[in-house]
A = this chain, B = another copy of it.
């Protein structure tokens, strides 16, 4: 928050020092030409830092389509450049024409759809209904809850002209919907019999962010926001916990992300909440990414908006929660898994779980190979597996291997002329490079093939979670003094230590180390503890880390 920063060319270079000047980022002239003239400086620099458009000219112009062509920066070399390369080359997203906005491309959007499909079912199973609130909120609404306006006012986009006329009251483009939700709840809730009221909406939201990064922080993003109203604080608390639990399960079981679940410190609590619960993911560069939050709002908004319910002639302000997961989660998935060769997607959320690459040299081999490949595709599709047959003849098999590896497809099936005669295929795991993950002679017989593929997808799903969990655990250091904390943070790790110090001291840690309290984890060590900063008694350990 704080003072406004206008993105200058310098600040942009500052944000992404590693990718400026890299040759493959500099040829997207078309974008520069079509940028609106007024924003030229920013647009131009954006173009320079932008991932390149999918290189469809490659086939036509490139002389070497072999398997050795390097299209992305290795992850081990430069994590941030790797991330942006993946976004571009795996065709997950592209930059929109307005600074900080993002176009979510089909492959990236399909990951978001997998997130939606899972959560939507869970939300309904737990009694929530979907609905939709308008995105334009009267400015006066935002001002009603004191800490809410303080938190959000620097980030607002305002509509001031509608239908050609200056508006009498500025309209806020929804940064979150607590205010308008409460305005409506106040009209719908009268008696305690109207409670609990439990709703959710899938929507776009706008926050005028200065330091943007695709998926992780964009000016506009997609999310779901749940809003509930309850008769008692206990019920609201139980709801907030239930929802963070659903998010946690999704992260572990579907996305293979061993998030740390816990409670935010007072400093980091949502603007308008009593308590914020969070899931914090560790990315490949060992930063923390807040991947989902659930807020116990207390009576803060119901008091500001007069949302009351009667029972036995008594009026009482209602108790509320709100909770959200956004397209940022897609960024979390990308940054959790992957290697130098590219993305690595957990099978349960992968848009393509199996890619089939047919291989032929002579024209007379082609029909047999493609027929076999189509049959295999049909078998797997019938078994409910998301399968893609890459039968294009524009690219070599080697190019395709690299491309689909880079896109993170969990399993690859190769079918050549020899396999047609032996009625067997070669299957390679994305998570095990080279020969280690390659198995020959898997029968094409449908029941055998189906069982093998499903089994391997399960293996990959748990293997990715296991790998991420080991990585996480080897990068969290238990500390008992501030010096140890500083040491851990300077090594790029997370520090976990007892904490009962003041907000000011929390602020000092941030200033001196760049790390913030990510959460007080629900899982706490037993026994007596001493605050790492003050030496006073501490009830809990906190986790400190640098974050996105």
Q: Are B183 and A134 in contact (CB under 8 A)?
A: no
A170 to chain B, nearest CB (A): 7
Alpha-carbon distance between A187 and B50 when the two chains are bound, in angstroms: 12
A34-B186 in contact given A98-B134, A133-B96 (Cβ < 8 Å)? yes
- Of A157-165, A231-239, A533-541, the one contacting chain B is A157-165
Interface residue A303 (Cβ < 8 Å from any Cβ of B): no
User: Which chain B residue shows the least CB distance to A55?
Assistant: B190
CB-based contact B165/A6 at 8 Å: yes
Which listed residue (B101, B133, B169, B193) contacts A38, Cβ 8 A?
Answer: B169
A53 at the interface (CB under 8 A from B): yes
Chain A interface: which size bin?
35 or more
Tell which of A106-114, A412-420, A464-472 binds the partner: A106-114
Tell me whether B188 and A53 are in contact (CB under 8 A): yes
Find chain B residues with CB under 8 A from A39 CB.
138, 168-169
Q: With contacts A96-B180, A160-B161 known, is A106 near B129, CB below 8 A?
A: yes
In the complex, the chain B residue whose C-beta lies closest to that of A161 is B158
Indicate whether A97 reaches chain B with its CB closer than 8 angstroms: yes
| Binary contact track A108-134/B, C-beta < 8 Å → 1, others 0 | 111011000000000000000111111
B168 touches A136 (CB 8 A): no
Q: Which of B101, B133, B208, B394 interacts with A134 by CB under 8 Å?
A: B101
A483 beta carbon closer than 8 Å to chain B: no
Instruction: Indicate if A504 sits at the interface (CB-CB under 8 A).
Output: no
Residues of chain B with a CB closer than 8 A to A37's CB: 140
| Residues of chain B with a CB closer than 8 A to A160's CB | 158-161
Smallest CB separation, A98 vs chain B (Å): 5
B162 x A208 contact (CB < 8 A): yes
Which A124-156 residues have a C-beta within 8 angstroms of B?
Answer: 129-141, 153-156
Q: How far is the CA of A220 from the CA of B132 in the complex (A)?
A: 11
- In the complex, the answer to whether A135 meets B220 with C-beta atoms within 8 Å is yes
Contact across chains for B163 and A4 when beta carbons are under 8 A apart: yes
Within 455-504 of A, Cβ neighbours of B (below 8 Å) are at none
Residues of B within 8 A of A206 (CB): 135-136
Bound Cα distance from A390 to B507, whole angstroms: 54
Judge whether B130 and A103 touch: CB under 8 Å: no
Q: Which of B94, B108, B134, B199 contacts A96 (CB 8 A)?
A: B134
User: In the complex the two chains form, is B190's CB within 8 Å of A57's CB?
Assistant: yes
User: Are B173 and A164 in contact, with the CB atoms below 8 A?
Assistant: no
A56 to B309, CA, bound (A): 11
- CB nearest to A7 among chain B residues: B163
Which of B4, B169, B187, B199 is the one whose CB lies under 8 Å from A36?
B169
Contacts of A183 in B (CB 8 A): 34, 97
Is A453 an interface residue, CB under 8 A from the partner?
A: no
Of A133, A162, A199, chain B has the most CB atoms within 10 Å of the CB of: A162
Q: How far is the CB of A39 from chain B (nearest CB, A)?
A: 6
- List B contacts of A94 (CB < 8 A): 184, 187-188
CA distance A36 to B510 in the complex (A): 40
- A448 near B: Cβ within 8 Å? no
With contacts A36-B169, A129-B106, A161-B170 known, is A191 near B134, CB below 8 A?
A: no
Distance (whole angstroms) from the CB of A1 to the closest CB of chain B: 10
* CB-CB nearest 10 A-B residue pairs: A163-B208, A106-B129, A101-B134, A96-B134, A158-B161, A104-B132, A36-B138, A38-B169, A36-B140, A53-B187
Binding site for B on A (CB under 8 A): 4, 6, 28, 30-31, 34, 36-39, 53-54, 56-57, 59-60, 94, 96-98, 101-106, 108-110, 112-113, 129-141, 153-165, 168-171, 173, 180, 183-184, 186-191, 193-194, 199, 203-204, 206, 208, 210, 219-220, 222, 305-306, 310, 394
Listed A/B pairs (18) with beta-carbon separation below 8 Å? A4-B164, A4-B165, A28-B187, A36-B140, A39-B138, A56-B190, A57-B191, A98-B171, A104-B131, A106-B131, A106-B199, A135-B204, A136-B220, A157-B171, A158-B161, A158-B162, A159-B173, A161-B170
